Each structure stands twice: as structure tokens, then as C-alpha cells.
A and B are shown apart, each in its own frame.
Chain A
Amino acid sequence: DAGITQSPRHKVTETGTPVTLRCHQTENHRYMYWYRQDPGHGLRLIHYSYGVKDTDKGEVSDGYSVSRSKTEDFLLTLESATSSQTSVYFCAISEPARDSSYEQYFGPGTRLTVT
């Protein structure tokens, strides 16, 4: 299994508070991603990173920011949490595609509840 950890694994927070989720990898993979999973929506990309300090927006980036100051860490921040951000958040990593291989490896997820 790819060495990916997410912290915290569970969090309950109140509307309007800032929240930071951490993804840590030991695989030295270049690319990192944050997804959210919601019923009826599957997995949707929030932000991604192609390297240190190189990040970009995904499909559902509003209300989220990210930072990557080290290869191994990718932080997702909800500046002011809303109830619509209640979800399960997954981090994923990958290397540049070789031989047309695009596999991403996922962390165990963080369940966030915003009350």
C-alpha cells in the first residue's frame, strides 16, 4: 500500500470556523490531489498539486485553499466552514504518467462534519 496518511480522520466543527486537513505521503510522489466524496456525486476534485508550491483548482474549489510547501505534505484549508462542506475528503498521490498509466493512490479519508 502507498504510504499516505490523512489527519485528522474525523472532525466535527462549527459553521464559520477554519479547518485544515493534512495529507502526508512517504512515497515521494510528485502529484497530490484533494477530492471530496458525496452521495450521488462520486469523487470530485477540489485542488491538485504538480509539485512544491505548484497548485491549481479542480472542479469544486470554491471555499477551499491548499498549500504545498514540502513534497510530502499537502494541506487543504476551509477558511470558513459551511454545512455544504460536510463530506468525506480523500487525498491521492501519483507520479507522472508513464506508458499511459494514470493510477492514483488514495489515503484513508477524513470525515468532516460541519454543524
Chain B
Amino acid sequence: DQQVKQNSPSLSVQEGRISILNCDYTNSMFDYFLWYKKYPAEGPTFLISISSIKDKNEDGRFTVFLNKSAKHLSLHIVPSQPGDSAVYFCAAPQGGSEKLVFGKGMKLTVNP
């Protein structure tokens, strides 16, 4: 049973436009969410996070929105750049532990 779901495997956008990456979760006990970015042949790198006590967290071009009632979070990238082309994972710590459960990932392609 997948607790963190990224239902769209890929997204393609034009440079300068907005990229919206979605993530749904089933465990209402999750109290923190993270987004990771992964380039080919490299390890994932932390991008941005949000606590469940907030509904928005912004860091430069990256904003994460959390809708707890819908158990949904989204990552907005504005404006999108070709260097943003990567696989993005959302993740959440499993109940009270340090262990993270990851979604399957979404491949973002930003076209020049």
C-alpha cells in the first residue's frame, strides 16, 4: 500500500512557464513533507520541505503548497528553467520515526 503517491510519471513544460508537480498521501498522521530533486547518475538532493502546521512554504522559485483536508501537496516552480529538468520525489517521515517513505517520482522536462 503506497502511502505517498505521485500519479503522473512525467511532465513537460516550456522554459519560463510554471511547473506544477503533485503528490497525494494516504496517512493523515504525516506531519512533514519533503521534495527531492534527482539528476541522472547523481544522488537525490533535498529541495524544499513543509510542516503540516503550514499550508505554504516558499524558497526562491520553488513553492510547496499543502492541502491537509485533501491530503495533497504540490510543488510549483516559477519560472521553470532547463536546469530544472530532473526527477522529483515527494517524501514523508513514517509515523514518529526518521525513516522517509518516497513517492515513485515524476520526471520534469523543461524545454528551451
Contact = CB atoms under 8 A, between A and B. Distances in A.
Interface residues of B, number: 24
A69 B44 CA distance: 26
A107 B104 CA distance: 19
B99 A103 contact: no
A105 B98 CA distance: 13
Contacts, number: 59
Nearest to A1: B45
A103 B34 contact: yes
A48 B46 contact: no
Nearest to B103: A42
A106 B101 CA distance: 15
Contacts of A45: 99-101
Contact of A40 (B42, B98, B104): B104
Place the interface of chain A in its size category: 20 to 34
At the interface, is chain B mostly helix, strand, loop or mixed? strand
Contacts of B99: 33, 45, 48, 58
A84 interface: no
Interface string B12-44: 000000000000000000011010100001111
Interface in B43-65: 43-46, 49, 51
A31 interface: yes
Interface in A9-32: 31
A97 B51 CA distance: 13
A31 B32 CA distance: 18
B50 to A, nearest CB: 10
Nearest to A43: B102
B26 to A, nearest CB: 15
